Chains A and B, each alone.
Chain A
Amino acid sequence: MKKHGRFVAGLAAVGLVVAYLIWTGVSETMVYYLTPTELLAKVESDPSFREVGVKVSGKVVPGTYSRVEGQLLHRFQVQDLSDESKRFWVEYSDALPDTFNDEVEVVLEGRMGADGVFHATTLLTKCGSRYEAAPEDLTK
């Protein structure tokens, strides 16, 4: 019976370790997922928020995309899906996904710099790709 107790303790320990890993994992790597409007408002009200990594989704403003040659840098503006006046510049230095174009919806991860430019570390395109076509968008 003593052995059994030790066994149960072992199982509980595994459970606790996994829970601990999840807990710390979430608290250390969690990022806010914002719209451009929310991001701009947060940065305005609390300038220290600039140092916080965030995820932000918006739409590339047509015609703003340019490639800074020689520096492997992409620059473009992103605007809120529902409010076109809320927009900011983005700089991104990785290879763009093939589905990127200058009117696609993107999900960016990175920080809003002190210069008002969003420095993105990852970029995913949202609706430009068509793994699954969505011609009848029921939500909007």
Chain B
Amino acid sequence: MTTVGEFALWIALPLSAWGMVLGFLGGRSQRGDLVLSAERSVYAVSFLLTLASAGVIAAFLGDRFEYWYVASYSNRELETFYKVAGLWAGQRGSLLFWALLLSFFSGITVFQNRRKNREFMPYVVGVLQGIMLFFVVVLLFAGVNPFERLGFIPANGQGLNPQLQNYWMTIHPPTLYLGFTAFTIPFAFGMAALLNGRLDSRWIVLTRKWTLLSWLFLTVGIIFGMRWAYEELGWGGYWFWDPVENASLLPWLTATAFLHSIQIQENRGMLKVWNMSLVALTFLLTIFATFLTRSGLIESVHSFAQELRIAYIFLSFMGSILAASVVLIIYRLPKLQSENRIESFLSRESAFLFNNLILLGAAFAVLWGTLFPLVSEGVTGEKVSVGPPFFNKVNIPIGLVLLALAGIGPVIAWRRATRRNLKKNFLWPTVAAVLAMAVLWILGAHETTALLTWGIGVFVLTVTLVEFWKGTRARARIGGEGYATAFYHLVTRNRRRWGGYIVHVGIVMVFMGFAGAAYNVDIRQHIQPGDVVEVPSPFGHTYTLTYEGLSVNSGRGQRNLNWQWIALFQVEKNGKPLGTLTTEKRRYVTAPQLMTEVGIKSSIEEDLYLILSALDDPEGALRNDPAAQGIDLQALIKPLVGWIWYGGLIMAVGSLIALWPSAERRRAPLESRDEEAAVAGTAG
């Protein structure tokens, strides 16, 4: 199987090149036979990459340690689940996995459009196969072939880093990769539009769902990564402004900007050059993210491989994409003229534009901070770096303005907002926000940034809820429906709009959760069995932790696990028992160091987070020596941290609603137009 896979990868090379050339040729010459052949090559490459990936997985499952990749990321004892996930555990497999996902998405695109949008398809196929060719070339010639052999057969592999043996870590990379690769489709259509000259909103309408899909996966992928860091890295944080985290955030920021700005093009025929640039920029950033994660260009907790050849290949690819996009956009500038102009500073267009500008500003700041060490060393020769303080300082104010815009954008009028429109829509939300901040202040929340975040959050929530309420009420009155039915129909008849509002609710929750970090509690103590640790919560109550001592387990079913030292605590909240909580040190067969497993007790308002920082005497504890039970405990309270995960879930639900194919639009076009009129009537 593995040999077949390797062979398949080699055949994918000429086939993707064939598809690329024929796609472009077919587009120029309008010859259907060439296009058809190019499209078939997409299916063929899909099939070949499936074989190649199956080959890698088979090598993992068969413990074929003669392969460098398998020997480096697996061992005999690794659980089957993680062996399958070995496909994306390291650089080499991930690149293959990237190509595989892209080939699936390309295949789906070709199939969906086999009888429609024929004016786009030749170039779309050409672009997609061109990108595919790049990845196959990287896999085969950049020293990252997953099928590379060692020349000898080690008795066992080195095993997978225990920190990666975590549920979230198996789904976090594929989710992000799905997001990255899905964005290739809007990019391909954008380029195809530039090439075939059909520069109205058609390409945007065609790829709307792909953009949303990509955004959904990016969002969920980032949240999964945060969740993994929170559970597994054992310091109570979820975001460190690490280069690789930043790299995944960058395309998210620009994709978010794109999602908003295409609405202006669809509604008002403006921002054509801007949208084209954004789609190219976002695509470049997805490549950049893949590249940064999987090369050692910038020091990061994620990447250590210093493989320079692959760096040059990636950089030249990105350079060519950039050059091609710029040249094409300039070539088509006459056809990319705006059909309208911005009429007023106070309008939805303007709010959306500011949203875009600020998102790009944030992206630039993040990129700058990430690349700063390189730039500075290149320019001044001094190695300097910026860390989390920089990113927080820059991005918190940006984030707050952005959050406020999430409340302003949806209800401010298109073209020109009147004073009456502003007052009607924003008076009560502003009152609610000020009231909420006053109440929180009285309750003792005096951190300015946190207070502002919650205030703005309440503003956005109020705006959004009022919109839902108005829409539902209008439907209920006009259609004579019950409120629940009216609400359901409201959302389902214009999924994109209302789904978007739900996403806004989610992002508000996430931001409110971030702000909770201003009230983190951190208590460290060296304790012996019987000792009691008091942890005061910012909400006023106190947790009482009674340390019951260490128990030692030998590997609990997980085959790479050698020993566990489990510290057991009885937890009481204001004297009321809450049960037990444990935090562990683990020793894995494959790693010399002890690994920490934190203990988390979650509630809606906060998490109690226990870290077994250090054991006094691990060997003594293994012998059950009663004098070796002392530990260093770190007890944290993370207020509102759960809101980040719930908010992420709401964002995912919102974007799913926006994505869901609307069967009803076809069934009842008239009805939905009535609803729009009704909503417009109440809003105007």
Contact = CB atoms under 8 A, between A and B. Distances in A.
B3 interface: no
A127 interface: yes
Contacts of A94: 235
B11 interface: no
Contacts of B302: 131-132
B299 A107 contact: yes
B34 interface: no
Given A22-B394, A26-B386, A137-B306, A3 B353 contact: no
A30 B384 contact: yes
B260 to A, nearest CB: 15
B155 interface: no
Interface stretch (A7-15, A43-51, A76-84): A7-15
A134 B296 contact: yes
Contacts of B321: none
A32 to B, nearest CB: 5
A58 to B, nearest CB: 14
A87 interface: no
B301 interface: yes
Contacts of B161: 129-131
A137 B306 CA distance: 6
B531 to A, nearest CB: 12
Given A3-B344, A98-B593, A25 B393 contact: yes
A33 B342 contact: no
Contacts of B525: 72
Interface string B579-598: 00000000000001111100
Given A31-B387, A126-B304, A133 B73 contact: yes
B153 interface: no
Q: Which of the listed residues A11, A22, A32 has the most CB atoms from chain B within 10 Å of its own CB?
A: A22
Contacts of B72: 133, 135
A124 B362 CA distance: 26
Given A100-B593, A131-B164, A32 B382 contact: yes
B158 A18 contact: no
A15 B386 CA distance: 21
A128 B305 CA distance: 12
Interface stretch (B448-456, B556-564, B610-618): B610-618
A25 B386 contact: yes
Give the bracket for the number of chain B residues in contact with chain A: 35 or more
A32 B303 CA distance: 22
Contacts of A97: 233-235
Contacts of A127: 304
Interface string B356-367: 011001101100
Given A67-B614, A107-B299, A131-B161, A55 B385 contact: yes
A4 B342 contact: yes
B387 A132 contact: no
B398 A18 contact: yes
Contacts of B357: 11, 14-15
Interface in B626-654: 630, 632, 634
Nearest to B593: A101
Contact of A69 (B524, B592, B616): B616
Contacts of A124: 301
A63 interface: no
A15 B614 contact: no
A28 B393 contact: yes
B383 interface: yes
B164 to A, nearest CB: 7
Interface residues of A, number: 53
B295 to A, nearest CB: 9
B684 interface: no
A134 B616 contact: no
Contact of A21 (B365, B595, B613, B632): B365
Contacts of B304: 126-127, 129-134
Contact of B307 (A7, A25, A138): A138
B397 interface: yes
B398 A72 contact: no
A34 B384 CA distance: 8
Contacts of B593: 98-101, 128
A29 B368 contact: no
B345 A10 contact: yes
B350 interface: yes
Contact of B343 (A3, A70, A101): A3
Interface in A78-124: 93-101, 107, 109, 122, 124
B435 to A, nearest CB: 28
Contacts of B303: 131-132
Interface of B: 68, 72-73, 90-91, 158, 161, 163-164, 233-235, 294, 296, 299, 301-309, 341-345, 350, 353-354, 357-358, 361-362, 364-365, 368-369, 372-373, 382-387, 389-390, 393-394, 397-398, 524-526, 592-596, 611, 613-614, 616, 630, 632, 634
- Shortest 9 CB-CB contacts between residues of A and residues of B: A18-B361, A95-B613, A29-B389, A33-B383, A29-B390, A25-B394, A133-B72, A25-B393, A139-B306
17 contacts: A4-B342, A15-B361, A21-B397, A21-B398, A29-B386, A31-B385, A72-B613, A98-B596, A101-B592, A109-B387, A131-B302, A131-B304, A132-B304, A132-B305, A134-B304, A137-B306, A138-B307
